[in-house]
Chains A and B, each alone.
Chain A
Amino acid sequence: MLRAAVDAGADAVYCGFQNATNARNFTGLNFTSEELHSSVAYAHAHGAKVLLALNSFASAGRFPLWKEAADCGARIGVDAFIVADIGVAACIAHHHPHCRLHLSVQAGASSPEAINFYCCEFGIRRAVLPRILTIPEIRQLKAEIPCEIETFVFGNHGLMVEGRCSLTNYAVGISTNMDGACSPPSKVRYDRDSAGAVIASLGSHVIDRFAPDEQAGYPTICKGRYCTAARPEPFYAFEEPISLNLMEMLPALAAVGVDALKIEGRQRSRAYVGNVVGGFRKAIDAVAAGRAPDLIDLLALTEGQKQTQGAFMTKKWR
């Protein structure tokens, strides 16, 4: 997967260890230290960087796991650590003062004051911005902070403040913040009812029901359909299953000073990563050369076959 991204033209690839130290703690997804070592060698040989995600929250008693992961990453020579936990940031800033630190979206820093706190305290060099800011808000924010900024351009369109959500732990007893897993596959169940509809559940909770002719989605709590007294017919109470795609907005993002563009890829297939990264690589190079980007059709890859420019265009969705 890392190789697919590097081969398709990614400048940097995020990765994590196979444990709770990163926010994508899913089976088969992450690296052993040996795998990380060879991946860093591959990336570096091809001019790409490797950023190690240590962006979950270390609960008391488990802190050594995060410390060891940081030590291992530093030994292997990753190009930066991406962190959210103040304690983890402090630990890396203290023990590995020469390593670059990036602030994860999981830190929930969505104002200049919050980002400046992390910059002052830990020398954060880049902040990944939450997916809830408009382009004018990004421009204003960039002017008030000393570090680089990175924005999501393709993938999940998440509207919950990241790093502040314990819905999964409430539903099934696995914490997104502490265990690094939102809606873990081990708790997902699909059943078919007598009418042929697919019922998608997380633990004992029904998150959605899909008619026989509907494509069944993954049961993430904030993407489910529910009812309320105010609106008794099932509706997406939080958000529609929709993908973020900002390819058309690349010139605007470049103009407001976005330093890096982030594509979600770690829970995706190799083909997906290759297609999306390759498409964005061409579009970015076109924008950099002053040409209009050739907008390739990524619709087929998006969740629910719908896409959005999300918060970035307007505040109306709020």
Chain B
Amino acid sequence: MAAKLTLGPILFHWDADAKRDFYARIADESPIDTVYLGEVVCSKRTPFFDSHLPEVVERLERGGKTVVFSSLTEVVLNRERKMTTDLCVAGDHNIEINNAAGLIATKGRPHRIGPMMNVYNEETMVHLAGHGANHFSLPPELPGTVVELMAQRARPLDVAIEVQAFGRVPLAISARCFHARAHRRSKDECQFVCGEDPDGLTLTTLENERFLVINGVQTLSHGYLNLAAEIEDLLARGVTHVRLMPHRTDMVAVSTIFADRLAGRSTGAEAMSRLAAFGIGPFINGFWHGIAGHQYHDARGPVAA
């Protein structure tokens, strides 16, 4: 079976029209197989898009996409608990769980496990598969050698293994909103200032290194993960689904480049040179190679991003 191309949930606070237009293009023009929807970062953002979801789902399904709903990463407040439980008890759609708060409600029913669920080893995978998990998006910090061991165990369990291959990498989550803090506000008075930075707000070090990106309560890499040159390696190690994370760049074009790679229609060098023209980056891939995540490892050895 050929590996499938997926689109992870939008991590950033785009306004409703931008999201609708984005998904309309994805539905109609992209070669993506599966689209993950839903707010996974900040529960305060959900009201803005909830009413548009049915229309977006319909459009994506009409375009032949499988739709999966992703649950919140951090679940503390009562409204976050309710969001998670409501999503998990409704049995009429695919769900991806990103917090253990969703595991009891889905026990015994098919579901997916998201990248924030800390599935680092086969024993954890086997345990969750016994509860109905049939698809694992692994933590982005796992090196390819570990992913390979996980995929070997996944095969007899008949569960899928998904790995992020494009986009800024989620590195940490907090109860505090760093976006609000940067604007001298509290989370309760944030006025959704995170919406001003559709790909996140860059933090530079005191020596002007562009180091990290903040997105509300989340911290991401400044560099864009790009495993376009490693696609053969991903497939050889048993990855079944390749995930692209949404950014404001031309994601239809990005997904086409990755689809070409998965189908063997282009080389890693060709894909990298096409992606280099997008004006995003720097590109990073250190985690996959077992080195510092901010680095880019190529044939000449590790290169600082």
* Contact segment of B3-11, B101-109, B243-251: B101-109
The answer, yes or no, to whether A160 is at the interface (CB within 8 Å) is yes
The answer, yes or no, to whether A31 is at the interface (CB within 8 Å) is no
Pick from B76, B124, B214, B286: contact of A237, CB under 8 Å:
B214
Chain A residues lying within 8 Å of B149, measured Cβ to Cβ, are 60-61
In the bound assembly, the distance between CA atoms of A116 and B81 in angstroms comes to 13
Instruction: Across the interface, name the chain B residue whose C-beta is closest to A57.
Output: B120
Chain B residues lying within 8 Å of A225, measured Cβ to Cβ, are 206
The answer, yes or no, to whether A132 is at the interface (CB within 8 Å) is yes
Task: Assess whether A113 is in contact with B120, with CB atoms less than 8 Å apart.
Answer: no
* Contact segment of B18-26, B62-70, B175-183, B272-280: B175-183
Task: Assess whether A159 is in contact with B206, with CB atoms less than 8 Å apart.
Answer: no
Task: Assess whether A164 is in contact with B294, with CB atoms less than 8 Å apart.
Answer: no
With both chains docked as a complex, state the minimum distance between the C-beta of B205 and any C-beta of chain A, in angstroms.
4
In the bound assembly, the distance between CA atoms of A311 and B302 in angstroms comes to 41
Interface residues on A, range: 35 or more
With both chains docked as a complex, state the minimum distance between the C-beta of B52 and any C-beta of chain A, in angstroms.
27
Instruction: Across the interface, name the chain A residue whose C-beta is closest to B140.
Output: A166
With both chains docked as a complex, state the minimum distance between the C-beta of A194 and any C-beta of chain B, in angstroms.
14
Chain A residues lying within 8 Å of B128, measured Cβ to Cβ, are 86
Task: Assess whether A133 is in contact with B183, with CB atoms less than 8 Å apart.
Answer: no
With both chains docked as a complex, state the minimum distance between the C-beta of B180 and any C-beta of chain A, in angstroms.
8
* Contact segment of A168-176, A241-249, A256-264, A295-303: A168-176
Task: Assess whether A226 is in contact with B211, with CB atoms less than 8 Å apart.
Answer: yes
Task: Assess whether B211 is in contact with A205, with CB atoms less than 8 Å apart.
Answer: yes
Instruction: Across the interface, name the chain B residue whose C-beta is closest to A56.
Output: B120
Task: Assess whether B219 is in contact with A167, with CB atoms less than 8 Å apart.
Answer: yes
* Contact segment of B29-37, B166-174, B226-234: B166-174
Given A60-B121, A114-B101, A228-B182, are A167 and B172 also a contact pair (CB < 8 Å)? Answer: yes
The answer, yes or no, to whether B262 is at the interface (CB within 8 Å) is no
Chain B residues lying within 8 Å of A120, measured Cβ to Cβ, are 104
* Contact segment of B196-204, B252-260, B263-271: B196-204
Task: Assess whether A109 is in contact with B100, with CB atoms less than 8 Å apart.
Answer: yes
Task: Assess whether A170 is in contact with B292, with CB atoms less than 8 Å apart.
Answer: yes
Pick from B122, B178, B202: contact of A229, CB under 8 Å:
B202
Instruction: Across the interface, name the chain A residue whose C-beta is closest to B100.
Output: A114
* Contact segment of A11-19, A21-29, A37-45, A87-95: A87-95
The answer, yes or no, to whether B188 is at the interface (CB within 8 Å) is yes
The answer, yes or no, to whether B139 is at the interface (CB within 8 Å) is yes
* Contact segment of A1-9, A74-82, A206-214, A280-288: A206-214
In the bound assembly, the distance between CA atoms of A30 and B32 in angstroms comes to 49
Task: Assess whether B101 is in contact with A113, with CB atoms less than 8 Å apart.
Answer: yes
Listed in ascending order, the chain A residues whose CB lies under 8 Å from chain B are: 57-63, 84-88, 90-91, 107-114, 116-118, 120-121, 130, 132-133, 137, 159-161, 163-167, 169-173, 175, 177-178, 199, 203-209, 221-222, 224-231, 234-235, 237-239, 311, 315-318
Known: A85-B124, A166-B141. 17 other contacts (CB 8 A): A57-B121, A58-B123, A61-B145, A86-B118, A86-B123, A86-B128, A88-B123, A111-B81, A113-B104, A113-B105, A117-B103, A117-B104, A120-B104, A132-B175, A167-B172, A170-B294, A173-B292
Cβ contacts A to B, 29 pairs, < 8 Å: A57-B121, A60-B150, A60-B153, A61-B146, A63-B121, A85-B121, A87-B120, A87-B125, A107-B100, A110-B74, A111-B75, A113-B102, A114-B75, A114-B103, A118-B100, A132-B175, A166-B169, A169-B141, A169-B293, A170-B171, A171-B292, A205-B205, A229-B201, A229-B202, A230-B201, A231-B182, A238-B176, A315-B188, A318-B188
